Structure 1
Amino acid sequence: MPEYYLVYFLLVELLGFPHEGPEEKVAWTIPLDYRGTLYTIEHRKMGLGLFIPDPDAHAAEANEIVNRIEKATKEAQPFFDWLADQQVAQSAVNVANHSQPLHQRYKFLRDSAQAQFDAAERRQAESRAAAAQITSLSDWPKLHLLGTRFEPEGDWLALSAVEAFFSWTEHALIHLAILQGRVTTASQVATLAAGDWTGKFKAVLDLSDAGAPALLNRILAVRQDLRNHVAHGAFGKQGEALSFHSSAGAVPVLLPHRTGPRHFRIGHGLAFDARRVFGVLDEFEAFMFAGARAPARVFLLEERYDTVLTMAATYAIAMQSISEMRDFLRHWGDQVDRSANMDW
């Protein structure tokens, strides 16, 4: 049969079939009288099903019921769309929370980049140690090449980590705005999601906070000079990839006096000062969960529950302290588990 909610909306919400509420391991039951035989459609813990005491004797009729429901579900699509629009208009919606896995992806890529940097530094140190032991000039060229070899893998991973960081913050800032009660409607969520990163920043963090404007400038420098540059083809939008011909040789179109306040430039190949950039990312993450926002770290990075727009008052209590948030999550987790297991 179709998804359980479509069957319920079709038979109960649209056609007005009688139904029974939850019981142990069953979310709802709809009785059907079909050709004088009583059937039930039940949404059980193990799934949706059509039930009758002697199924083998009524297989043909059961198939007819299922076929009718499938056809009716397709015809009722406009009603389902209308019903969904009504609920969204009332902001009776959950907002999917992927903050934890997105943050884990960022940390994985960052740790992988750091491992590459550490390994390259070890190799450089080994080359220097070997150079100190040289007794024959014939060995110098080989050691010189090893000592100056450019290893791009760390920078590649670091750029991917920067991309993953902004992917995570694009997502987490919206949930942080919901937890703080700054966003309470589905239309606000949709507007923020479709907007730029700066809009999400301003929806959550006050520029009047000490250090916020300077931090915003630094994090935007990372975003514009590194993340956006690579994400949009690594050409840039001001002629960064062009060099003009001259009697002095090839000259960059974007001369130094025209570059503006760029702080984190791509260097040789796609090389850049990854540790400096990571320092800015660390500073932003710490600021993001500073002070009254600290309880949100527990919600977003220790659990994976969706945010619910109709629970603004509950979130306001949970955000009073980390202990309040942990108490709320224990209670909420029990409710979610009971619902999933249909333990009524």
Structure 2
Amino acid sequence: MPAYYLVYFLLVDALSFPRLGQWEKSAWTVPIRYRGRLFGVEHRKMGLGIFAPNLDFGARSSGTPTVQAEQDAIAIANQIRAATAAAEPYFQWRAEQAVSTSKLNVANKSDALFDRYIYFRDSFHRLTEEATRRQGERVVEESSPSANVKFTSVFVPSQALRREANWNAQAAIEAFFSWTEHAFIHLAILQGRLKTGTDVAQLAEADWKTKFKVALAVADARTKVHYDALLDLRAQVRNFVAHGAFGKRGEAFSFHTGAGAVPVLLSSEQRHRFKLNGRPAFEERTAIDQLELFLQFLWSGPCAPAQNYLSSGLPSVLTYAMDGTYTSAMQSVADMDEFVQGFIRQVDRAADMEWW
């Protein structure tokens, strides 16, 4: 069967079938008659199905279907699949209509994205500490392929550990900016700055700078300091990745002169693609510290109430942005905590299809 909402739109909205309301462990039921026999297309807690009625007045559950009922249900399902495929233009129109309003929930993946940053950040610290602890360690291996030849190799564990630590730091930085791209959208919604699906879609397609400015007040001096620092770091990381990872400063070439080997840097500027001088390369520990300072700043200011909401996994409801519900909840951390707990209970009841 197609997704439950497509079946609902097909039968109820497009074809005007009657619909029965919510019932215990059931969101909706559409009664249909197939070759003179009655069936119900029903969205239950365990999923969408086609059910034959149990005509026993004392029954508390569906009975075992007959062979005929099973054959009919298969035929009905096939017709629903075919009709759903044919109704694709209608579904597309419905999606466009829905996005233009505030009657939407915006998926909140902030917690999972932030956990990825935490994982790589903690791995960086762990590997760095281990590298420091094993700084003086050397692993010496000797081999003699023949009587007159002897090879000695020395492995320095701390060097390998620092290299792995830097890999994790770079992954943490990328994960952090991935999280901010998502979190800034939800921060903007919670502050009432995005109120329709169209607003959200436009900001989602915008660059990082725009997302930051919509979510946070860059006019504030302290915010501007963090904005400039993060923007500079992001540009360096992006250039490092976008330019084939030749080097943190884009050092892809070198040529020889009387001064020695001279690096040629790839530039992101369209008018000057190559440079001999550029900004200093970012240092991993300093970059991670900078990210942590921003997080401390973010969750200690006006956006502090939003921290619990973003980590809750609850969707951002544009209706709440429109009617002022979020504005009230953002007044304090306590107000937001109370709102989140109530919202979670509401979501749990809906997931369990407990309507009363």
TM-score by length of 1: 0.86
Q: Give the CA deviation at 1:124.
A: 1.3
Q: Aligned residue for 2:297?
A: 287
Match of 1:184 in 2: 195
Distance 2:250 2:34 in 1: 73
Matched letter for residue 30 of structure 2: I
Query: Structure 1 pair 305/58, CA: closer, same or farther in 2 (3 Å)?
Result: same
Which residue, out of 186, 200, 204, partners 2:215? 204
Q: Percent identity?
A: 49
Task: Please give the secondary structure, in 2, of the residue aligned with 1:48.
Answer: strand
Amino acid of the structure 2 residue aligned with 1:79: Y
CA contact (8 A) 1:179 1:319 kept: yes
Please tell me the root mean square deviation across aligned C-alpha atoms, in Å: 2.4
From the two aligned structures, give the one with the greater strand fraction.
2
Aligned to 1:259: 277
The superposition leaves residues 164-214 of structure 1 with CA deviations (integer Å, 9 ceiling, x where unpaired) of 111111111111111111111222211221121111111111122132222
* 1:17-28 alignment runs, 5 A limit: 17-28=17-28
SS at match of 2:43: strand
- Tell me how far apart the structure 2 counterparts of residues 226 and 7 of structure 1 sit (CA, whole Å): 46
Which residue, 70, 79, 87 being the options, matches 1:76? 87
1:207-226 aligned at under 5 Å gives the runs: 207-226=218-237
Distance of aligned partners of 1:3 and 1:239 in 2 relative to their CA distance in 1, 3 Å threshold: closer
For 2:304, what is the secondary structure of its paired residue?
Answer: helix
Aligned to 1:55: 65
| Mapped contact 1:93–1:186 kept (Cα < 8 A) | yes
Cα separation, 2, equivalents of 1:14 and 1:326: 41
Which structure dedicates a bigger proportion of its chain to helix? 1
> In structure 2, what is the Cα distance between the partners aligned to 1:232 and 1:173?
27
> Which one-letter code corresponds to 1:185 in the other structure?
T
How far the C-alpha of 1:7 sits from its partner, in A, is 0.9
- Among residues 310, 323, 326, which one is paired with 2:319 in the alignment? 310
Aligned to 1:97: 108
Cα shift at 1:287: 2.3
Find the counterpart in structure 1 of residue 336 from structure 2: 325
Distance in 1, Cα, partners of 2:239 & 2:327: 35
Aligned residue in 2 for 1:11: 11
Q: How far, CA to CA, are the matches of 1:88 and 1:148 in structure 2?
A: 53
Contact 1:32 1:38 in 2 (8 A): yes
SS of match in other structure, 2:135 = helix
| CA distances 1:290-317 after superposition (whole Å, capped 9, x unpaired) | 322100001112x101111111111111
Q: Where in structure 2 are there 5+ consecutive unaligned residues?
A: 55-63, 139-151, 267-274
Which deviations, in whole Å up to 9, do the C-alpha atoms of 1:48-102 show, x marking residues without a partner? 1111136213222222211111111111111111111111111322111110011
- Which deviates the most, 153-162 or 191-200? 191-200
Tell whether the 8 Å contact from 1:162 to 1:227 is kept in structure 2 after alignment.
Answer: no
Instruction: Indicate yes or no: 2:45 matched with 1:45.
Output: yes
User: How many residue pairs get matched?
Assistant: 320
Correspondence for 2:285: 275
Please tell me whether the aligned partners of residues 205 and 288 of structure 1 are also in contact (alpha carbons under 8 angstroms): no
The alpha-carbon distance between structure 1 residues 156 and 147, as it changes in their structure 2 partners (threshold 3 A), is: closer
Tell me whether 168-177 or 201-210 shows the greater mean CA deviation: 201-210
Partners of 1:238 and 1:282 lie apart in 2 by 23
- Tell me the equivalent position of 2:177: 166
The whole-number CA distance in structure 2 between the counterparts of 1:281 and 1:148 is 25
C-alpha separation in 2, matches of 1:292 and 1:248 = 53
Q: List runs of 5+ in structure 1 lacking aligned partners.
A: 128-140, 267-272
TM superposition score normalised by structure 2: 0.83
Aligned residue type for 2:16: G
Q: Give how far 1:126 is off.
A: 5.9
- Any idea what SS the aligned residue of 2:289 has? helix
Contact 1:240 1:254 in 2 (8 A): yes
CA distance in 2, matches of 1:240, 1:217: 24
> Partner of 1:33: helix, strand, or coil?
strand
Aligned-partner Cα distance in 2 for 1:232–1:172? 27
What is the rounded CA distance, in whole Å, between the counterparts of 1:337 and 1:226 in structure 2? 41
